[in-house]
A and B are shown apart, each in its own frame.
Chain A
Amino acid sequence: MEEKEATRDFNERCAQCSEVNWGLTDGGRFYCRSCHNVTEKITEVENTDFTSNIRIQTVSKGLRKQEKTDGGCEWYVCEGFQFVLRKQAEALEALGVCPQMKDEVLWNFWRCYLQKTKQAYCDRPAGETVRPLSVCDSSTDVDSDPERLSLLYSSLSESEGDLQTDCSFVSSTSKVSESTSVRSRSGSVDGSLYLMKNPKEKLRMTMPMTLSFCYMALLWVRETMTLSELLRFVFEGHIPYLNVFQHFPEKMKLRGPDIKIFCVESWPSYEEVFNKMHELAAFLDLPRFPDITDSCFLHPDMLCMKYLMEANLPDEMHNWTCRVVKKTCIGEVDFLTLVPGNKSTRKVKYDVLAAAVIVVTTFCVLLISFTCSQPKMCMFYSDGPYFELKKWYKVLKCTLDVEQKKLDERRAKYLWRCEKPLFYSAKKKSKVLKRRQIVVNLQNQFGRLSGSVQPAEKPNPSSFQLSWSEENTDGSCFHGHSLKGILQEKRGLLTAMNPRYWLCTLKLCNEKLCGHLAHYGEADFPQSYHFVLRLFSFLLRIEPSYIHDEVCMIEHKLFNKKLRKKTKYKTGPRK
């Protein structure tokens, strides 16, 4: 930034305090650093490149040094994350998410976070208490040095229009930059400091947390994207996550600790992102989120409809899922809406919940196990075919196996390295480059020996992974099938032929103690159950045990009365 040069020539005394200590606002106006008096004088200096959406710039003198040997400049870790978030938000917008999510919601959350973690927007430099022994010149006090930055602040209540007010980053890493060892090295200014901080303290930002931010914002605007979908898009490459730091502006160079911070070595798990999101919401003191009503996409009724279609189950089942939802009260607004910090309510995983409802309904309504013999009735009535469980199973298993294999191959072929090789230190540079060359040569050699293999295409972003069309003549689409073959008319109402239902578990565990409500063991359940869980595990890209937890939870709500009765008597063998 050419602030130094721009203000260098301006030697007028400030009208208010008579000092000659000028800085530049975002709008390019001169302002007095000592008393924050903004003048009318405007400079033609352009804004810096990488923060065009959010006007945050480092104002302090002496911190922005662009005269590095590799053309880099100083930057802070949170700027890096900000860049990542911006890219992710843009990708989401490209996928059809409303712009409001990016422009308003996400940025407000981010600003709030920066403020709370005292990395910006506050009047105290963050990390003041952190004194790394190796680099700190501890005698220097921030306030005593007039050259040091002074800060302005903005509160969360400010509307976007006030973004023009000055705000800057502050950090006692200004001390760090004084030490020669850091000055000569490029990369983020506070990278090593960042890693030294106690990770539990103040929710230190990580790459998976960027997804937590995104999800939080999506939830706030009640977008039609579940967490499992978000993570799937990340895996499919539609949302930048892996190696996104490669697209940092040229001047933001990565070295050493930065690599550890920004370089991802594994996919984030659903649980991780989900839990962090809740922690974040509580940490930011967010109010109750906008209500999830029955017209929202995230409501179990809506999600069930989607998943029923995807799982190729008859549309008629939707009536039954709605009934289950109603009976268990999981469709209530208060149950579904997120209230940050409320520890008494269970955190809702909308997608898993909907899947679990379908599982319960399937086993409740459609007979217990697939081995039960089908009623010997004419399968075709004048009003269309009847749903046959066995046929459904065959079709789905076939498809699932094929899709699973494709997914496994895609995972096996995933390339993790980035275009530009990274090195932790200059010493290792030559070794890294040599390795890189060897890898490239090997890939070329064996690539030739692979024969003519088409490169794996990036799948188009789609909400549905499996689709079934009624136009298919092979009859593999079950949407329109009727459940009449399975249900029977009893006093004018359709009820399940087999009124018995086996319960997954008689007693739920304490989730906080062992992490799960119930334990999913392969030996304990019939193959049909495993299959259905496997199907939804594939669709949601989540471990089956989590679906099993939700299933148990719903069962207990559903059969609450019966369970309470049962505990009075000696528990017999599971039916």
Chain B
Amino acid sequence: MRFQFCAITRVEPKCKELCLSFIQDAMLQKQWKRAAEFLTFYVESLEKDFSREPVGASEIIWRIGSEILRHHPDSSVKEFNTFIEPMKTLSVKRYLKVCLEHAFYLLHNGLIDEAYQNLSLAESWRFGEQTVIQDKELKLIQAYMGLLDYYKWSKQKNILLEDGKYLSVEQEMHSCFRKAAVNLKEIIKIPGVWDQFVKCYVDMLEFYGDHNEARQVLNEYAYNPKFPANPNAHVYLYQFLKRHGESKKSLISVLKILHDIVPSHELMIDFNTMLQKSKKRKRRRLGLEVIFTALDYAGCKENVKAWSCLARQVKQIKHLAWIKQEWNSRKDWWPAFHFSHYLAKKNWQENESLSYEKALVAGILLGRGNTKFSFLFTT
């Protein structure tokens, strides 16, 4: 439909746009040979770029070529390497980016050492002003080198644990650690989401017993306002604190924040369990709120443990006012959401324990006679 009218007016830019659209269609339909065929006719745009696109021909060719080579049945790592090298030189402004993507490709194909070589080559690249402008890419490259150093360290660690302590292994481990630490520490300073990097760094720190540094890193990652809100940060912090036997108070404060960000998180169940056991009234009240809120979400609907927590709490609780408070905002929609006739049947057929727990809760909240689960009480 697009090319209904075929006038040959000022067509050269249209020719290449047409060519590009054929390439895109072929790629979307996974016809890699056809895409490659049209790409051969598109590449001359490198010499004379007539396109009016904001993205230049060299970038288009790099991205499309990479994609085709990733999926083409006759392609190989060697083909990709042959292709990517000139792509690096075509644009100085993109040099580091292309290097990084090349490294990803190699990692994807399990070639860790080659990836590392590429990254270190890229890291040593200097090009006047460009090095400053491409600072971000450079940091990323260093970060991934850090990650690969951690991977090496981790392998050495396994050898250590299995075969016993050997000085050479230890020394090598330590050198990997040092290299990795430098780079990882740098990248997590920059506001962003660095889950994997943080985990690896903390893992190494813990191994060498540097708990303070580890705690500091995790705290920074979770609480620095410059960083984007990231539930995982709190999860890591919580897990760390738990591992090191921190006080309930600190654990609760971490989980409270997680509750605010992601009320349906699976850790909420643990949180509730912790809070229920507390002597403080406030905490027990919070526990009730936590578990109710968690069950507001579809994610926990079929979670037996969640229901059993709720069941336990509503049975034991002496403060009916609390339950009333929580139920008030939910009585309109929870019955249809959790206690429908259809769900009752389904739960009964699929998961008896779930059904039992839900029935208990329903019985208390809805009153025995009202609930659709009433048939259960007759058994």
Contacts and interface: CB of A to CB of B under 8 A. Distances in A.
Given A412-B38, A450-B40, A235 B8 contact: yes
A449 B33 contact: yes
Contacts of B48: 265, 416-417
Contacts of B12: 265-267, 416
Interface string B9-20: 111111100110
Contact of A541 (B6, B13, B37): B6
A544 B9 CA distance: 12
Contact of B37 (A271, A415, A450): A450
Contacts of B44: 415-417, 439, 443
Interface string B85-106: 0100010000000000000000
A196 B72 CA distance: 51
Contact of B41 (A413, A421, A435, A534): A413
A368 interface: no
A407 interface: yes
Contact of B9 (A269, A415, A439, A443): A269
B46 interface: yes
Interface in A409-436: 409, 411-417, 421, 432, 435-436
B7 A269 contact: yes
A534 B4 contact: yes
A267 B9 contact: yes
A446 B10 contact: no
Interface string A429-455: 000100110110111011111110100
A293 to B, nearest CB: 31
Given A412-B22, A541-B6, A542-B7, A265 B50 contact: yes
Nearest to B32: A449
A407 B6 contact: yes
A176 to B, nearest CB: 29
Interface stretch (B74-82, B222-230, B312-320): B74-82
Is chain A's binding surface mostly helix, strand, loop or mixed? Answer: helix
A413 B36 CA distance: 12
Interface string A264-304: 01110111000000000000000000000000000000000
Contacts of A436: 47
A432 B19 CA distance: 23
Interface string A531-544: 00010011001111
Given A267-B11, A413-B19, A445-B79, A404 B47 contact: no
Given A266-B11, A439-B43, A445-B79, A537 B37 contact: no
A435 B47 contact: yes
A231 interface: yes
B86 A537 contact: no
B173 interface: no
Contact of A408 (B6, B33, B36, B50): B6
B22 A266 contact: no
B68 interface: yes
Contacts of B13: 266
Interface string B47-78: 11010000000000100010010001011000
A450 B47 contact: no
Interface of A: 231, 235, 265-267, 269-271, 404, 407-409, 411-417, 421, 432, 435-436, 438-439, 441-443, 445-451, 453, 534, 537-538, 541-544
Given A411-B14, A415-B44, A445-B83, 5 more contacts: A266-B13, A414-B15, A441-B86, A447-B36, A543-B5
18 contacts: A267-B11, A408-B6, A408-B22, A412-B22, A414-B15, A414-B41, A417-B48, A439-B44, A442-B86, A443-B44, A446-B37, A446-B40, A446-B65, A449-B33, A449-B79, A453-B33, A453-B37, A541-B7
Interface of B: 3-15, 18-19, 21-22, 32-34, 36-41, 43-44, 46-48, 50, 61, 65, 68, 72, 74-75, 79, 82-83, 86, 90
Closest 10 CB pairs of A and B: A269-B9, A450-B37, A412-B19, A449-B36, A266-B12, A543-B7, A451-B33, A267-B8, A412-B18, A413-B41
